[in-house]
Amino acid sequence: MRDQAQVTVGGIIQRIRSIYTKKGRPMAFLTLEDLTGEVEVIVFSNLYERQRKELEEDLPLLIKGKTDIKDEEEVKIICEKIIPLPLQPKRLFLRIGTPCQISTLLTLKELLRQAEGGIPVYLFFEKEKKTILVEEDCWATDEPDFLQKVKNILGADNVKLQELRV
């Protein structure tokens, strides 16, 4: 792995250590753990102040950021984006009926990109009878406002948020 490489990691927050910068702004060091080990994640002030309430020990997250490698044994991640994952796994199914305008799909894609969520999104194309999983950067959130916007674009009957049994 090289220094400053773009990475996405997922795991459970094991520890949160908050400090204040010289300018008096809060920032945090998270210890994120998965099945292979743990990594320290540095969350600078701007991001930490925006998402502080979403950071609690034992909660699952996706972290997007860049590697910070001082020596080969110690890799840290400079956090650029925090994506909380739902405790109860979910997935969002969106039925794309016929006819469907390209502008509708582009509007939907932009809405999904802005959501920055952790819920996988599946598109079912009715005419082709084909289902695809969208890229991770277009995953959804289960926020009511977001879901309503999707329903406004596709119609309420074409949007299904499914909770998975664990």
Helix 102-115 with 144-154: angle, nearest 10 deg: 170
Place of tokens 């994640």: 41
User: Does pTM surpass 0.85?
Assistant: no
Q: Which residues on adjacent β-strands are paired with residue 41?
A: 30, 77
pLDDT tens digits, one per residue of 44-74: 999 999 999 889 888 888 899 999 988 777 8
The stretch 21-46 carries a mean pLDDT of: 93
Given 2.40.50.140, 3.40.50.2300, 1.10.3720.10, 1.20.1630.10, which CATH number is that of 6-84?
2.40.50.140
Q: Where are the domains of the chain?
A: 6-84, 90-163
